Structure 1
Amino acid sequence: MAFDSHSLAELGFRGPRPTWQEPGVTGIGREPMHAPLVPYPDAGAALAGGESPWRLSLDGTWRFLLLDAPDAAPGDFAARDFDDAAWSALEVPVSWTLQGHGAPAYTNVLMPFATEPPAVPEKNPTGLFRRRFALPRAWDGRRVTLTIGSAESVVYVWVNGVAVGMGKDSRLPSEFDVTAHVAPGENAIALAVVQWSDATWLEDQDQWWLPGLHRSVTLTCTDRTWIADLALRAAAPERGEGVVEAELRVGFSGAPEPGWSADLALVDARGRTLAEARGAAVPVFRRDAPVVELVDGYLFRGHVARASLAARGVAAWTHETPVLYRVVATLRDPAGAAREVVSQRIGFRTVEVRDNALLVNGQPVQIAGVNRHEWDDVRGRAVTLEGMRRDLLLMKRHHVNAIRCAHYPNDERFYDLCDELGFYVVDEANLETHARWSSLCHDARYQSAMLERGARMLLRDRNHPCIVLWSLGNESGYGPAHDAMAAWIRRADPTRPLHYEGAIGKDLHAAAPVSDVVCPMYAAIDEIVAWSRSRKDRRRPLVLCEYSHAMGNSNGSLADYFAAFERERGLQGGFVWEWADHGIRRTSADGRVDWAYGGDFGEAVHDANFCCDGLVGPDRTPHPALEELRTLAQPVRVSARDARSGRVEIENRRWFTDLSDLAARFAVEVDGKPVQRGALALPAIAPRSHASVRVPLVRPALEPGQTCVLTLRFTSKRATAWAPAGAEVAWAQLPLRFGELAARRPVAAKAARGAPVSVDVGAHAIELVGDDFALVVDRDAAAIASFAWRGAAIFERGPVATVWRAPTDNDGLRQGWMRDVQGVLREWRRLGLDRLERRALRTRARALRDGGALLALETEWLGADPGQRLRHRQDVTVDPAGALRFTDVFEIPAAWSDVPRVGVVLALPAAFERLAWLGLGPHETYPDRRASGRFGRFASSVTAQYVPYVAPQEHGHHLGTRWLSLVAEGGPAVLVTAARPFGFSASHFRAEDLTAALHQSELSPRDETVLHLDAAHRGLGTASCGPDVLPRYRVKPGRHRLAWSLIPAERPPR
C-alpha cells in the first residue's frame, strides 16, 4: 500500500488547526464503546476463558522516537516501509518518561504550563511508535480491529501507511476497525501519542504527568457479522430466583441481514447450565413497505437481541460472598450455524439509596474504602495484572471493602479482580478540571467531551457487579455537562446510584440532584455529625469520598471517624485518601534506594511530595496507619460483660455471613507474658448479631503494679485467595482488673549495696562516682554530660528537655508553595521551637544518708521571643549501684499553646541496638492513632523502629509504655521504667536530621542511639489535607511531669 503523505494532516495530527487542540473532536474513526468482549470459536472455549485464537497481543517491543512537537515528525514516518532502525526500543505498555525519554512532572492543582484552555504549549512532547506484525492466516477475510488500551493524552493511528483514526481520553480504550487496511503477511502500525492536548485540561488529577501507552495494544478478529456488545443486568435473587436481563447488540459489516439470532446460557462456576434462552431474534430495520418503514422508524431500537435468564438457587454477590456466574452468548446465522461466541461474568446484586442508606442487597454496608490511583513505582501508570492483584490482596487482608477509582476508569482487568475478590467500586469518569474548577464545566466547547467520558465509562464497565456507584468525575465544578451526564447515565443504567462531590462541595445540605449520596471530601467529624443530626436529608446517606489524608505519618482520629459512622444515622463510612504513595523509585550512585517526587526532575511547577499520601509506600510496604484501618474495620468486635469471670460479648460486624468460618483462641497475659492459653468455642453468630461467650479463665497470681489483659484472636479455618488457613482475621484485648490490685505502685530502681557515692563539685563540672559508675554534669549547661557503668558508656548526651519533633507532613509541608498556607509548623517555627536556646539556671548536688546522691538541675529554654521560655527542673537520685531516678518537671508558657511534645532526649552509644518494651506495639502509636496498638512485651531493634516515609519525618513513637530496655552488643543493658505509662521512641537519627532531610537517601544513621521519653506527645491529625489534630490530642501549656528510672544491668529483664 502506498503511503499518503497527506494523512498526517487528514487526521489533524498537524496543520493549522490540529485536532489535538479541538475540544469538540474527541475521536475520529473510533468504534462505539462496548463491554470488553473476547470472541471464541465455541461455547466451551468461551466458558473456559483464557487465550483466544481471535485475539493477538501487540504488547512488547516497539520502535520509539521522542520529538519536541507534532510538527517535528518525519513526513513519512507512518509509511509501511519507513526505516525506524535508528529509533529506540521500548516495551509497551510504557510511560516513556520513566524509560529515559523526557522527564516526568507532578502537580496537584496547577497546570504544568501557563496557557489558557484549550491551548497547550508549543513544545509538546510527542512519541512516535512503530511495530510490525504478521496477521494470522486464519484471520483472512474476517473483520479485524485494533484497540489502544490507554494513550496519554491523544493517539493517532496509521496502519500500513493509511490514516485510521484518532482518540482522546487517556483512561479508556480507543478501538478502530482496520479490516480494510491489513493484509495477510507482514503489516505495520504507526502511532503518534501527543502529551498535551485540549483533553489535558480535563485530566488535571493530582498525579504525575506521564505520557505513554499505559495499557495493552491488541488486535481482535471477529466474524463479518459479530457480537458488538453484551449488556447484562442481574438483581439480587428474590424468593430464591435470580434473573439476568440480557441485551446482545450485533454488528453487520454489510447490509443488515434478517434471520440472525442469539442463544444465551447462564452457567455457574462448576460449569453447570442453570438457565438458557435460545433463538433470541436480532431485529433489522424493515423497509418492506412505507407503512412498515414508518412503524419501524418509531419502534426500531437497533440490532439488539433481548432475553431473560431465570434460575433458582443462585447466590447473591456481595463483598463477603463474591459469587460469580457466566453468561455465554452464541451468535447464529440465518442457517442456525454458530458464528461467534462470547461470555461475560455477572453477579446477582441490587444497589439502591433510601432511608439515609446506600443499600447493597438491602443492607446498609459500612464503607471501609480507599481511593486508588493506578501506580507502579517503576512502571508509572503502566500497571501489571500482578500489581493490581497484589494491591487487592493486601486490601482484603486489611478489611478494605470498597475502592474509589481515583479519578478515572481503571484497566478493565482491575474490575475483573474486584468482581472475583469482593470489593464495592466507585467507577469514576476521567474528568477533573481542578485548575479551572468553575469555568470548564460551563464552557460549551467541552460539553460533549465531558458527557462522552461518562457515557463511554458506563458502556465499557456496566456488567461488573463490583461497581455500585457511577461517579461523574472529581473536582470539576458543577455545570450543564454534569446534569447531562447524570441524565444520560440514569437512563442508560437505572440500577446504580450516582456520585459526584463537585455538586456537594462544602455545603453538605446542597440539593445536588446529580448525586444520590452526600459525598464531601475532608469534612470534619463535627460537620458530618451535625449533618446527620439535622435530619434535613432523609433519603441520601453521607459517604466521604475522601478523608483521613494518609500523607506520611498520618491518619490521626481515624477511630473517631469510625465511632461517628457507627453511632450516627446516615453516616456510612468513606474512602481514605489514598492507597499508595506515588513515589518514583530511584537508586543513587552508592546503591541507596529511595523515591522521587515533584521537583526532583527539575520541573519549575510542581507540588513536591504531595503525591506521597498513601497507606502503603510506593513499593507497597504497609504504613502503620493501614493496621489502624484494619483494626477498626475488622469483622469481629469483643466487649466485656464481666471480664473477671470470663464473660465477654462477641459481635459479628459482617453484613451477610456468620462467623462459622472462624476459630477463636484466647490468652491471659501478665505484663506481656502469657500465663494461660486456650481455644474458645465460637458460635456461628449471625450477621449483625452478638452472643455472650464465657472464656474459661483461671485467675492469675498478680503482684501489685502488674498489668493483666485478656487477648482474643480470631483466625480463618480455611485458606482464602488472600490469606492462608490460620491467618488472623480479627483480635481484641480487654483489661483484667481485680479490685485489690487497682492501685498501681510506682516502679522505681531498687536500692543496692555499694560504697557511698562520692560527690565532687567543681566550677564547671560535678562528678558523682560509685564503685561501678561515673556520672559527669556540665554545670555550664546544667545537664548530664556522660554516664558510664562498669567502664561502658551508657549515655553520652544526657536527658535534656525537648518540645520538638521532626515535622510530619500534617504538621506542615517543608517545600513547595503549600508550606506557606498549611499546618502548625509555621507557628512552631515562628515561636522558635526548632531552635530553642538553652540557659543554665542552677546545678546542685549533695550526698544522701543512704549512700546515694541527689542532683538538681534547672534550665530554661528561650524561643524567638525571649520573654517566652520553657522552664525545666530535673531532680536525679543516684543510688550506690548506679541506678538513676529522674523527676522532670516542665513549665510550658501559655503562648506556646500547641507544642509537638514534652519530654527528654538522651543519646546512648549506637551499640545499644537490641530493644524491648512493655506497652503498646508492635508498630508506632500516637494519641489519636492507637486503636491498633496491642499491649504486650515486644522485642525488636532500634534500626527496625525506622518507618520509611518517603519524606523523612517523626516516626516510631510508642504509647502506654511500662518499661523499655536497650542492650548493647557484647555490653551492658539499660532498663527504663516509670511510675506512669509514658511514650518513647528509639532511633539512630536525631529530630534535626529528620527535619532537614527531604528524601530517605539524605539520611545517614548516627553513631548513637537517640532515645526520646515523653510525658506528652501531640497527635497526628490529617492537616496536610483535612482537619488538624483534635484539641483533646494536643499538648497544652502548663506543667508536665515525667518520673522515670534508668537502671544499668548486665542483662535485660526477663
Structure 2
Amino acid sequence: MTGLPWYTSFAPEHGTLPPRAWTAASDAARLPLGGDWAFRLSPAADAADTAFTEPGFDAGGWRTVTVPGHWVLQGKDGEFGGPAYTNVVYPFPVDPPHVPDENPTGDHLRRFDLPDDWPAEGGAVLRFDGVESCAQVWLNGTELGWFKGSRLAHEFAVGELLRERDNVLAVRVHQWSSGSYLEDQDQWWLPGVFREVTLLHRPEGAVGDHFVHASYDHATGTGELRVDCDVPARVRVPELGLDLAAGESVRMPVEPWSAEVPRLYDGELTAGGERIGLRIGFRSVYVEDGVLKANGRRILFRGVNRHEFHPETGRTLDPETMRADVELMKRHHVNAVRTSHYPPHPAFLDLCDTYGLWVIDEGDLETHGFEELGWRGNPVDDERWTPALLDRAARLVERDKNHPSVVLWSLGNECGTGAGLTAMARWIHDRDPSRPVHYEGDRSCADVDVYSRMYPPHAEVAEIGRREDGGPAARRALPLVLCEYAHAMGNGPGGLDEYQRLFETYERCQGGFVWEWIDHGLVHPVHGFGYGGDFGEELHDGNFVCDGLLFPDRTPSPGLLAYKKVIEPVRIAPGERPGTVAVRNLHDVADLSAYAFRWEFLADGEVVAEGPLTVPPTAAGERTEAALPEPPAHAADAETLWTVRALLAAATPWAESGHEMAWGQWPVTGRRPLAQPSPARRPAVEDGRIVLGPAVLDARSGALVSLGGLAVSGFGLDVWRAPTDNDEGAPWQPDVRWGPLWRQLGLHRMRHRTDGVAPDGEGVTVRSRLAPAGRDFGLAVTYRWSGGGAAARLDVDVVPEGTWPVPLPRLGVRLGLPAALDRAVWYGGGPGEAYPDTRAAARLGRWESTVAGLQTPYVRPQENGARIDTRWLELSDGAGAGLRVAGEPSFWFTARRWTHAELDAAAHRPDLVPGDTLWLNLDHALHGIGSQSCGPGVLPEHRLDASPASFALSFAPLGRG
C-alpha cells in the first residue's frame, strides 16, 4: 500500500499535537476564526493545485462559505453538491482504504490579523473541533499537517508562523478519505469545516493537559480530589478552601454530582501565568453485584440517542440550539444521553455537567457497511487500522475526561467484532479506570463492563432481568443497558410503558436510550423537509433518517410527550385507603421537596374544584399516601375523576415554576350509558329515502346520505389506515410486517356489498358485507338505525367470516362531511393523539382544536391524529352549526380533509392538499403502533385481531332549531 495519497493511508494524522482536555474557561487569549471564508470546490482530490496556500494568492474569483458549516448546505441551487443519506451502505465502492476519484474537495481560505492585545510572548495553537472527513492545513504558506476523524478535535502548534497582520490560513477538505470507512454512521454525509476553528495563545509554562479526578465515597460522604497536570501548577477551589499543588490528593466532605442534583464546585488551575477554569463534580461510577451504580445508588437511564442536527445547518449547532435541546430533555424527564455515534460538540457536555444528564460518550467509529459484505475486510479486525482506532479512542477520552456527566465510554457503534476494539478497550481501561466501558456489538462482552442490547423484544428483556438469558457467565454478571430501543420513526414508538415496567421490576435492567432525539429532515425548497432521495442521491435509505422524538423544527412529537409520561419520576395513583392518593418517588437520588402537588376534581370532563395537596418530601425510592378532600358537589349522574398533578415548586434553570412534572388520574363514578333516542318513531320513507330524525338513508342501499341537514358521503365500516413507518416495518425484521401484508391482502381496497335494507316499526336494519377482492374472508356488518326527533342512534355489529390471517388496522365507521366543520370540541382523551400502545400522555378532559390542529405533521405522512376514549365529539362551523356524536363504549376519532388513500400516497407534508370533504373516522378499536421500523412489533395485547364486535353511536345536529 505504499505510495497512497495521505487521505487514503491508514495513518490517522500527521503534524498534530497530542490530544488533550478541552477547556471552555481560560484567561489566555483566543481568536475565533469563524465567519466567511473564500471557497473553491473541485470534483476530485487532485483537480486543483495548492497554489492557494501561498500568502499572495488572489482568491477574488472564489465563492464564499460560512465556517463552521457544510458546503453542501450552502451555495445556490446545489452548486456545491448536495447532502446524501445512507443508513448502512457506503455511498462509494468498498475497497479500503481507497476512495473514488470522484471525491469532492473544498479549498477554504481565511485571512486574519492578530488582535492588537495579542500577547507577544509564548506560543499558539490552531484548533479544529470538527472537519468532515479530513483536512490538510497550511498557515502562511507552510504545511502544518493533516488529520482524519471528522468529529474529533485536532491541534497544530503555530506560534512561530504567526504574523501580526495578514495571516493566511488555507484548509483543503476532502469529502472521502480512508477515515470515511470508520464513519459509516446512520446520518447524512455532510462534508465541511462544521465545528469551530480557533487560534489559542499558549503562555510559556502553561498547562498542556490536565486530568481532574474527583471521586465520591457515599459511605463517608467525602470526596477525593486530585488534578494531574503536565506542568507544575496550583489547584484552587475556594468553596472548599482548597489550595494545593497539582498531583496532590485531598479528601473532604462534599456534595456529590448526579444527573438529578448536578452539584458543581468552581475552581481554577494556574500555571505559567494562565488560569484555567475547573468545574468539579464529585461522583463515582462502577458496577457492583451486577448493577451499574453512581455514588452507591442504582442508575436508571431514561435516555435518548442524540445525533447533532439542525434542519438548516446540519451538524453545525449554535450554543442556543444545544441549550434548547438540554432544556427540552430536562422538561421531558430525559436524564441520559448517548452521543450517537461520535463525541458531541464539547460545549454540549458542559451543558450536561451544568443541567444534569448522564452521558455515554461514544467514539467516532462505525463500520456498519461491512455487515453487507459478511464483515469481510472489517477495519476493526485488521491490524493496519489499529493505530487509527487507538487515535480515535484517545481523542475521545482525552478531550472529554474532565466532564462529570460522562459516566461511560463507548468504543463506537455497529462495527462487528475484532482485535482493534479490544485494543481500544484496553487503552481506555488503562487511561481511565474510573469509568465503565460500553460497546454493543460484541455479545461475548469480553472487553466491556455492561451488557448492551439494541431493540430486544420485551420478553427478552424480562428474561435477561431474571438472569435466564444464557450466554457467557461473565455477561450474565453484567448490568443490562438498552443503548437503542423504541424506534421513534413516524407515528410511535409503541410499547414504551411495558419496557419501563421491566426496567423498574428487574434491578439488572437499567433503562435505555430511545432512538432518537430528533428527525433529521433537512429544509427543502419543495418538500418542506427532505429526507433520503430528495437531494439526488445515487444510494439512499429514504425517510429512515426521520426517526426522532422531535420534529426537525424541534417541536415535540406525540412520541416525546408519551415518553415523558412513561418515564416521569413521580408515580401518582389512587391510594390503598379510600380517599387517598399514593405518591411514589422514582428518582435515583432526589426527594420530592422540589415539587408542589395539586388536586383537581372533574365532572364530565370539566374541573369543578381544585386545590393544593400536602405531600411529604418523600425520599428517592419511597412511597407515601396523602389524604384527598371530600369530593365537591357535582351533578348526580356526572362521570367524575380525580386528577393529581406534581408541579415544580420553584423555577429551575430549565423550567418555570409550576411546570408540570407528573400526573395521575382515576375515576370516582362511572359514565352514564348512551341515551336511547326518544321518542322512537316509525321511519318515514320519502322519495326513495328513509328518515329517522336527523338521519336520512338511501332506501335502496341503506347508505347514510345526510345528518341534521349536513350532506354525508362515503359512509360505512372502515378497516384501513395509511400505514405508519412502524406498520411498514424494516426489511431485516424477523417478524411479520403488517403494512405490506395488509396491502398484499387488499385491505386498502375493501369492497362493500349491501345484503338487505329492512325498515320496521322502530328503525332500519341494514345488512352488508365488507371484504377484499380476491379473498374469501370478510366482515359481516349489521347497521341498526333507530330514533327520531333530535337524535339518531346507530348500533353496529361486526362478525368476521372466514380465516383472517392479519389483524385489522382499525375497526369503525367512516363518513364524509362538509369541510366547513373546522372546529372540534370533545370530551375524552387528549389533548394530543394516542393509540393503544402510545396512550400514556392522554388524559380525560374537555378539549378543542381546529381540524388542522388535529393532524400530526410527520415528515412522511402516515396514519395520525387519533383521539382516544372519546365520550362525545362536536364538530361545528364558524356559526356554531354542526354535528354532535356520542359513543358507547367510548370511541376514537380522527378528522382530516383528505382520504386515507391521499394520506397514504403523500411522500411529504406539502403533498397533502385539503379537500372539500371532512373525513371523519369513529372507531371502536385501533391496532397498536409498535416499534417495528427497527424494533419489536405490536405486543399481543395491543393487536386488533378480527373478532366479533358491537358498538353504538348517536348523532344529533348542533346550532339548528
Give yes or no for TM over 0.5. Answer: yes
Q: Following TM superposition, by how much is the alpha carbon of 1:416 offset from its aligned partner in structure 2, in angstroms?
A: 0.2
Alignment of 1:1004-1023 (within 5 A): 1004-1023=913-932
Cα displacement string for residues 960-1001 of structure 1 (whole angstroms, at most 9, x for unaligned residues): 221111112215231111221222112222211110001001
Q: Is 2:602 the partner of 1:669?
A: yes
Q: Which residue of 2 aligns with 1:768?
A: 691
Residues 831 and 896, structure 1, Cα contact 8 Å, conserved in 2: no
Q: Is 2:526 the partner of 1:547?
A: no
Q: Distance in 2 between matches of 1:675 and 1:697?
A: 13
Q: Which residue of 2 aligns with 1:913?
A: 822
Q: Following TM superposition, by how much is the alpha carbon of 1:701 offset from its aligned partner in structure 2, in angstroms?
A: 4.6
Q: Following TM superposition, by how much is the alpha carbon of 1:801 offset from its aligned partner in structure 2, in angstroms?
A: 1.1
Q: Distance in 2 between matches of 1:689 and 1:774?
A: 56
Q: Is 2:704 the partner of 1:718?
A: no
Q: Distance in 2 between matches of 1:265 and 1:633?
A: 39
Q: Which residue of 2 aligns with 1:599?
A: 533
Q: Which residue of 2 aligns with 1:265?
A: 236
The residue identity in structure 2 corresponding to 1:475 is E
Q: Following TM superposition, by how much is the alpha carbon of 1:658 offset from its aligned partner in structure 2, in angstroms?
A: 1.5
Residues 61 and 92, structure 1, Cα contact 8 Å, conserved in 2: yes
From 268, 272, 286, the counterpart of 1:328: 268
Q: Is 2:14 the partner of 1:55?
A: no
Q: Following TM superposition, by how much is the alpha carbon of 1:887 offset from its aligned partner in structure 2, in angstroms?
A: 2.7
Q: Distance in 2 between matches of 1:555 and 1:78?
A: 51
Q: Which residue of 1 aligns with 2:435?
A: 496
Q: Following TM superposition, by how much is the alpha carbon of 1:842 offset from its aligned partner in structure 2, in angstroms?
A: 2.0
Cα displacement string for residues 995-1030 of structure 1 (whole angstroms, at most 9, x for unaligned residues): 000100111112222111112210000000011001
Q: Is 2:605 the partner of 1:678?
A: no
Q: Is 2:660 the partner of 1:728?
A: yes
Q: Following TM superposition, by how much is the alpha carbon of 1:310 offset from its aligned partner in structure 2, in angstroms?
A: 3.7
Q: Is 2:297 the partner of 1:363?
A: yes
Alpha carbons of structure 1 residues 168 and 968: separation in structure 2 relative to 1, 3 Å: same
From 883, 901, 904, the counterpart of 1:992: 901
SS at match of 1:342: strand
Q: Following TM superposition, by how much is the alpha carbon of 1:758 offset from its aligned partner in structure 2, in angstroms?
A: 2.2
Residues 951 and 1000, structure 1, Cα contact 8 Å, conserved in 2: yes
Q: Which residue of 2 aligns with 1:20?
A: 7
Q: Which residue of 1 aligns with 2:345?
A: 411
Q: Following TM superposition, by how much is the alpha carbon of 1:886 offset from its aligned partner in structure 2, in angstroms?
A: 3.5
Q: Distance in 2 between matches of 1:420 and 1:822?
A: 45
Cα displacement string for residues 772-831 of structure 1 (whole angstroms, at most 9, x for unaligned residues): x57241735x422x2153xx42x42153111100110000069xx889998311111111
SS at match of 1:912: coil
Q: Distance in 1 between matches of 2:476 and 2:733?
A: 41
SS at match of 1:1025: coil
Q: Following TM superposition, by how much is the alpha carbon of 1:864 offset from its aligned partner in structure 2, in angstroms?
A: 3.8
SS at match of 1:563: helix
Cα displacement string for residues 688-721 of structure 1 (whole angstroms, at most 9, x for unaligned residues): 11222111123645544x4221100111111111
Q: Distance in 2 between matches of 1:155 and 1:695?
A: 66
Q: Is 2:57 the partner of 1:82?
A: yes
Residues 369 and 404, structure 1, Cα contact 8 Å, conserved in 2: yes
The residue identity in structure 2 corresponding to 1:374 is E
Q: Distance in 2 between matches of 1:433 and 1:423?
A: 28
The residue identity in structure 2 corresponding to 1:617 is F
From 616, 620, 623, the counterpart of 2:550: 616
The residue identity in structure 2 corresponding to 1:443 is D
Residues 745 and 979, structure 1, Cα contact 8 Å, conserved in 2: no
Residues 677 and 786, structure 2, Cα contact 8 Å, conserved in 1: no
Alpha carbons of structure 1 residues 971 and 733: separation in structure 2 relative to 1, 3 Å: closer
Q: Following TM superposition, by how much is the alpha carbon of 1:541 offset from its aligned partner in structure 2, in angstroms?
A: 1.0
Q: Is 2:99 the partner of 1:112?
A: no
Q: Following TM superposition, by how much is the alpha carbon of 1:534 offset from its aligned partner in structure 2, in angstroms?
A: 3.0
Q: Which residue of 2 aligns with 1:586?
A: 524
Q: Which residue of 2 aligns with 1:247?
A: 228
Alpha carbons of structure 1 residues 63 and 821: separation in structure 2 relative to 1, 3 Å: farther
Structure 1 stretch displaced more, 1032-1041 or 949-958:
1032-1041
Q: Distance in 2 between matches of 1:235 and 1:1051?
A: 73
Q: Distance in 2 between matches of 1:982 and 1:326?
A: 57
Q: Following TM superposition, by how much is the alpha carbon of 1:236 offset from its aligned partner in structure 2, in angstroms?
A: 1.6
Q: Which residue of 1 aligns with 2:937?
A: 1028
Q: Distance in 1 between matches of 2:726 and 2:348?
A: 32
Residues 677 and 793, structure 2, Cα contact 8 Å, conserved in 1: no
SS at match of 2:872: strand
The residue identity in structure 2 corresponding to 1:658 is D
Alpha carbons of structure 1 residues 827 and 240: separation in structure 2 relative to 1, 3 Å: closer
Q: Following TM superposition, by how much is the alpha carbon of 1:857 offset from its aligned partner in structure 2, in angstroms?
A: 2.1
Q: Distance in 2 between matches of 1:904 and 1:715?
A: 40
Structure 1 stretch displaced more, 203-212 or 923-932:
923-932
Unaligned 5+ residue runs, structure 2?
none
Residues 795 and 950, structure 2, Cα contact 8 Å, conserved in 1: no
Q: Distance in 1 between matches of 2:183 and 2:735?
A: 25
Residues 735 and 937, structure 2, Cα contact 8 Å, conserved in 1: no
Q: Following TM superposition, by how much is the alpha carbon of 1:325 offset from its aligned partner in structure 2, in angstroms?
A: 1.5
The residue identity in structure 2 corresponding to 1:801 is L
The residue identity in structure 1 corresponding to 2:686 is D
Residues 759 and 769, structure 1, Cα contact 8 Å, conserved in 2: no
Q: Following TM superposition, by how much is the alpha carbon of 1:925 offset from its aligned partner in structure 2, in angstroms?
A: 1.1
Alpha carbons of structure 1 residues 949 and 688: separation in structure 2 relative to 1, 3 Å: same
Structure 1 stretch displaced more, 891-900 or 61-70:
891-900
Q: Which residue of 2 aligns with 1:5?
A: none
SS at match of 2:392: helix
Q: Which residue of 2 aligns with 1:42?
A: none
TM-score using structure 1 length: 0.87
Cα displacement string for residues 626-677 of structure 1 (whole angstroms, at most 9, x for unaligned residues): 111111221211232346x412221111222211121111011121122322
Q: Which residue of 1 aligns with 2:112?
A: 133
Q: Distance in 1 between matches of 2:369 and 2:275?
A: 46
SS at match of 2:424: helix
The residue identity in structure 1 corresponding to 2:110 is R
SS at match of 2:726: coil
Q: Is 2:684 the partner of 1:751?
A: no
Q: Is 2:864 the partner of 1:955?
A: yes
Residues 713 and 816, structure 2, Cα contact 8 Å, conserved in 1: yes
Residues 647 and 694, structure 1, Cα contact 8 Å, conserved in 2: yes
From 191, 197, 200, the counterpart of 1:220: 200
From 803, 806, 830, the counterpart of 2:722: 806
Alignment of 1:464-483 (within 5 A): 464-483=403-422
Residues 292 and 479, structure 2, Cα contact 8 Å, conserved in 1: yes
Q: Following TM superposition, by how much is the alpha carbon of 1:124 offset from its aligned partner in structure 2, in angstroms?
A: 0.3
Cα displacement string for residues 101-146 of structure 1 (whole angstroms, at most 9, x for unaligned residues): 1111000001112232222111001010001001235333421111
Alpha carbons of structure 1 residues 540 and 115: separation in structure 2 relative to 1, 3 Å: closer
Alignment of 1:438-517 (within 5 A): 438=375, 439-504=378-443, 510=444, 512-517=445-450
Q: Distance in 1 between matches of 2:53 and 2:88?
A: 36
Q: Distance in 1 between matches of 2:773 and 2:483?
A: 41
Q: Is 2:133 the partner of 1:147?
A: no
Q: Distance in 2 between matches of 1:321 and 1:274?
A: 22
Alpha carbons of structure 1 residues 397 and 893: separation in structure 2 relative to 1, 3 Å: farther
- How many residues are paired up? 945
Residues 892 and 1038, structure 1, Cα contact 8 Å, conserved in 2: no
The residue identity in structure 1 corresponding to 2:698 is V
From 246, 249, 274, the counterpart of 1:308: 249
SS at match of 1:686: coil
Structure 1 stretch displaced more, 870-879 or 173-182:
870-879
Q: Which residue of 2 aligns with 1:966?
A: 875
Residues 408 and 438, structure 2, Cα contact 8 Å, conserved in 1: yes
Q: Which residue of 1 aligns with 2:460?
A: 527
Please tell me the root mean square deviation across aligned C-alpha atoms, in Å.
Answer: 2.2
Q: Is 2:243 the partner of 1:276?
A: yes
The residue identity in structure 2 corresponding to 1:576 is V
Q: Following TM superposition, by how much is the alpha carbon of 1:874 offset from its aligned partner in structure 2, in angstroms?
A: 1.3
SS at match of 2:292: strand
Q: Is 2:257 the partner of 1:317?
A: yes
Alignment of 1:810-825 (within 5 A): 810-812=726-728, 823-825=737-739
Q: Which residue of 2 aligns with 1:873?
A: 782
Cα displacement string for residues 589-642 of structure 1 (whole angstroms, at most 9, x for unaligned residues): xxxx72100000111210000000001101111111111111122121123234
Cα displacement string for residues 449-486 of structure 1 (whole angstroms, at most 9, x for unaligned residues): 11221121001100000000000100001110111111
The residue identity in structure 2 corresponding to 1:650 is V
